[in-house]
Structure 1
Amino acid sequence: MLSYRVKQVAQMAGVSVRTLHHYDQIGLLEPAYIGENSYRYYTRDELVKLQQILFFKDMGLSLSNIAKALKNSEAERAQVLIEHKKQLQMQARRQNQLINTIDRTIDELLGNEKMKVEDLYKGFSEEKQHEHEQWLIDNHGRDMKQSIDAARTKIETDAVGGREQLIAQRMAELQDIESEIILALQGGIACDDPALDEAITRHRNWVAKWWGRQPDHPSYIGLSQMYQSHPDFIARYEALAPGFTEYLGGAMASFANRCLR
């Protein structure tokens, strides 16, 4: 079996030889064997274990707690790493949203085109609306297309008194709903807190006015995913409040998982 000396392992893992010696001394990571020359040798098994140690260390675990974690079954250790992966993915999304916000701030500072306050609550253009509808259809199939067609019919029915007036009224209602949710975000309320249920129910009812039916679990989840992944919505929500994209999407998903199953 291929083996590596302690210096080689240290270089591959990005740690010091002294660290590996310390791990050996406390029984956290012992070499596979000691050669006649008194050199420590590590095999693939030790390298995999070292990788797990570094992952756990990155999660903030102490060495003593890492030692306890390594005594768990492989399935239990895998589950811990899966949860850590989710946290890293969430952090990555937050970083991407922060980058988008910084880009818009740079544009404003340099005098480039920026989103006007009065435009935040205007409806998207017909072209953009079709693009968003197609995104939903592509990701959620024919049932979503039928819902969109029904929603278009309902809008025309509801807009007998004037389509622009109807849109203005509904966007004003949305402004009130989103303002309430933003206050919760800024007040430190977690996006999965049931305290948000009333505001999210209002949001779901608002969506239902456009769709002609109440969003069910999969469609409301799908809508939350579009909000968090489509650049048009990210730009709009981050202009309203930094972090609002993920917060609103998380609140919608939490509500759907708790109340719409």
Structure 2
Amino acid sequence: MKWKVKEVAELVGVSVRALHHYDEIGLLTPTETMESGYRLYSEENLETLQQILFFKELGFPLKEIKTMLNNPSYDRKEALVLQRKMLVEKRGRIDQMIETIDKTIKHMEGEIHMTNEERFKGIQFTSNPYEEEARKRWGNESVDEANKKLQSLTKDEQHELSEKWDTIFKKLASLRKQSPESEEAQAAIKEWYDLLNNNFGQYTLEAFRGLGQMYIQDERFTKNIDQYGEGLAAFMSEAMTVFANKQNKS
């Protein structure tokens, strides 16, 4: 089922103008646009919109929300768990401030006496640890820069890049039974290193090594990479470490 922009606005309780703005900045692009010009939103669009509105309620700027949603390691279920923790924390702070306000009114009316400590109970300026976790997990600026570069490519250029990506992964998959230190493996890993640097921003050798570690530490990366061949993520991780170490010595 697809929904028109007015239907989504009425369903969710946001303005049509807001939805148009999300589309303009590339935060939420409708799945389909009809010849008549009507934007059509899919079920997946609604799921993304829910995420946007939760993060917005929690005080995240739209630019940061876009960065997180575009992060390759973004996981909606993990985000929902974090959003729930942030909202529970926010609810606790609000409940505490309401209690402080009630006590302050009673203090002003002479019913109770408040200490200075009680007067400011619940008013916090420290950041929410779960918010910091969300920003750290998905708010990498380098990802935002990479997405900017990708969005600047034409469809033909994006298709060409996708084919290069696919070719390198298939080549590495065919080599995964060899030693990661082998000449062929290192040549293929250099192709991967060059593709990343030419298309996704500047990767230092340390960042490249760290990316390889993420391939085996984050099960979502492992699962996606191992679609090309079981054990490929571990092979690439080790080959990337070998490559970075060799380049540092040269």
Shorter chain as denominator, the TM-score bin is: 0.3 to 0.5
Higher relative contact order (CA 8 A, sep 6+): 1
TM-score by length of structure 1 reads: 0.41
* Structure with bigger gyration radius: 1
TM-score by length of structure 2 reads: 0.43
